[in-house]
Structure 1
């Protein structure tokens, strides 16, 4: 049955509403919806210095791609529905095909290819010049009616007219001196080999709850894995992400988040890892991630 308090919008109006009333992080990142079709979203994210993961190369932080794909998949799901129903990411798998070329915009094409009563299934590609030459690919599952918020009528007031800026404060002596995006998220070292991501308005996904953006939680887990594996193995060059599967276990609330990584298996060239993020109780994680890194060769090994 259709709720008469939320009449179905004409599709073009729905697409404009979804573009205007997205997550706070999505809005301040500059992600825009270039094109829409029922169940499909084509989006674009302009290259910004704040998105860099390694200032020596200018390559984007992998978490930027993760957050963009998560947001783009969410838009595709909303475009397959009526736009009013709250959704939440259940799981997201990212396969990194190649580093993004510095200075170029990154684009994404997401397709919601099946919707059941409670679950939506999505696949997406992130690319720069051609979709046939991807930077990363993704598959995801979203829960439909994840909470009681109305994504069209509630969201605009919650976002408000003033958005925070996405800034990377200078910290030349800190562990993230060469990673502007990690500094944007405010990530810092914690106790017992953990990392901490303080809650801030700029990392909000659903502003009504509020809840942390699922893609940002994924970016935090990936950062934790890179730092932790590098430290644990005692290598100089940070490992290269191959693939990452994130499972979302509960909403990230308006609290600081903590994360830790452990190595599951180490080979000569590839490392398997598992990371968990929690807030006030380590026994109640908000998300977990399993993935693989490729170890970079040193000069003596080449």
Structure 2
């Protein structure tokens, strides 16, 4: 879609963009959402892709994902053999409601900053206990846990002009065993619920991440594997106003699916199923 209110595109911003941020500005990365709808309040776009941020930097401490890393780049990443949770990165990419053409432009950071309940990059990074590095217009930097970034449907903690620079996933989370479940009304549809369970090797703990069915990510943590009743009770205490409603499912339907899939995840991790 043509954005007919735009009067300027900053093609080569400074290495620390944002110092001249003003009302009517928008960060431009893949632009797959930005150009899909009218943006009457925008006057200027600032192109982040020109900054050349490294898309993926694996190291002994974990994985750094640049905010402008495309979905295609993440999907093509081959994680080290000892990162048992590595396949979850590709599985998250497969949860996008988009074509391969969109994958080539859409960015990991853009999906996170959109902060939609069904954002799969939110699901994956929360499940893998990631942290987000945020840059403010005044030059300050802060780190926010992925779990705390999204606050509601299309809402997050970003201040005006603040930018997501990178996502940092710790190696300890990438070495965990995983199990996930996702439900959609159609084969390639938007997620109605998306759950991920992780377990530390050599333990019986459980970290269950609930997304898509809720307006913000919900994490349930257990030091030892809970029984079915305890797990169900933990899900039942999620506040009623946190469950999401849209054409893909009612809150009641999403609650029911979450109970069902959480129990499947519990059984799979208890049985030592696929990592």
Normalising by structure 1, we get a TM-score of: 0.30
The structure with the greater share of residues assigned to helix is 2
- Structure with more relative contact order (C-alpha pairs < 8 Å, separation 6 or more): 1
- Normalising by the residue count of structure 2, what TM-score does the alignment of the two structures yield? 0.32
